[in-house]
Amino acid sequence: MTAFVVFTLIHAFLLISLSYCRVHTQHNANPLSEEDPSIGFAELNEFENVFELGSKPINLVEVNEWPRDKSLNALRQVAGVAATNHSKVYVFHRGDRAWDNNTFDYFDVYQQRDKGPIDQNTILILNSSNGDLIESWGKNMFYMPHGISLDPEGNVWVTDVALHQVFRFKKGIWDKPDLVLGQAFVPGNDHKHFCKPTDVAISSSGIVYISDGYCNSRIVILDANGQVLREIGTTDNLVVPHSLTLLENEDLICVADREQRRVMCYTAGLSNMQPGTLVFKIPFAGPLYAIDRIGYILFGIIGPTPFQKPIGIAEALATEQILGTWEPKSGFSMPHDLSVSQKERAVYVTEIGKDALKKLYKFKF
């Protein structure tokens, strides 16, 4: 079956499923978990007035008083965020470190090992309603934090671009990772190494997808035990695959190909299809830093260029129709990551820009 035929069939399926969601009223009886940030298609009916495809816009409004603890705005570079449906928001920040021109050499080797790991709790768990700190951890573990994700069991996955590694922490056991992927401080492109890995997405069956990364051009697929199964995207000239979102019911894994200014969606290999077939791609007007989704609605963050300011965007996956754009009143500086919460009907955005008035934003829709 050619890639074109696969695209045609899945694109048609997306449109049919969207129509189905508008009239179907029975909720999913077996959600993946209360920590799972995804939403099933049957659950889209409760968002019908907002997400009716092609007819109504999505309006996102900044929650000015979030976070209530204003000391959080003093954080330097907030690299990652992961919202859950359990009233929590996980934040991954870089403490006193900043990624600049002196951080890596020409061969992508980290140049500041002598500073040691960050002597601060780099992972913050916040109350999603007001942004108050619930818990913090991660001191003396990381050198240059990047992405943070939660799997359906509530385990936390993070990437560190200085270490060239990916870590998994079992839910509630934060003192030591139970799985470490990659070799510390050693960049590479084989099955034992990563090169500045950026993000992780995890299926309900435990299949792991890692976007790798700033100096590789691939998505690595692993089993639940961390064994590499396959690489995908290697022939598509990905330039900084920066963020992932998994559409499990459609068997799609989508990546924000940052510097190519596009989303690339591949078969994920969770059903009978082989992983890695390019199903569709969506162009964007600027570098695409982060993506997340609810149902078939894609939320993204477009970074700044010399010709345009950074902005958030909401787009229909099936039709590529732009449903809305959004930004804080003060404007973004250098937004880096976002995460969408179904329960809160909210989008959370992090900042790494030194001139940003806030480092954490919440938008309601």
CA distances from 60 to 54, 216, 292, 318, 363 (A): 17, 34, 15, 21, 6
Please tell me whether 11 is known to bind a ligand. Answer: no
Give the length of the chain: 365
Token pair for 274: 């082989």
Say if residue 94 carries a ligand binding annotation: yes
Q: Is 258 annotated as a binding residue?
A: yes
What is the phi-psi region of residue 154: left when phi exceeds 0, alpha when psi lies from -120 to 50, beta otherwise?
left
According to the annotation, is 242 in a ligand binding site? yes
Could you tell me if 232 and 266 are in contact, meaning their C-beta atoms sit under 8 angstroms apart? yes
Establish whether 93 is an annotated binding residue.
no
d(CA 205, CA 295): 19
> Distance between terminal CA atoms of the chain?
40
Distance CA 36, CA 154 (A): 8
Helix count and strand count (H, E) for the chain: 2, 24
The first and second tokens of residue 99, run together, are 């990624």
- Residue 146 annotated as binding site: yes
**119 labeled binding residue:** no
User: Are 233 and 255 in contact, with CB atoms under 8 Å apart?
Assistant: yes
Residue 193 annotated as part of some ligand binding site: no
Place of tokens 């345009």: 308
Alpha-carbon distances, residue 130 vs 24, 87, 91, 357, 363 (angstroms): 33, 10, 14, 18, 12
Determine how many CB atoms are found less than 10 A away from the CB of residue 1: 8
Q: Which residues are annotated as a binding site for Cu(2+)?
A: 242
Q: Which residues are annotated as a binding site for Ca(2+)?
A: 81, 337
Q: Which residues are annotated as a binding site for Zn(2+)?
A: 146, 336
Q: Which residues are annotated as a binding site for a protein?
A: 94, 214, 258
Q: Which residues are annotated as a binding site?
A: 81, 94, 146, 214, 242, 258, 336-337
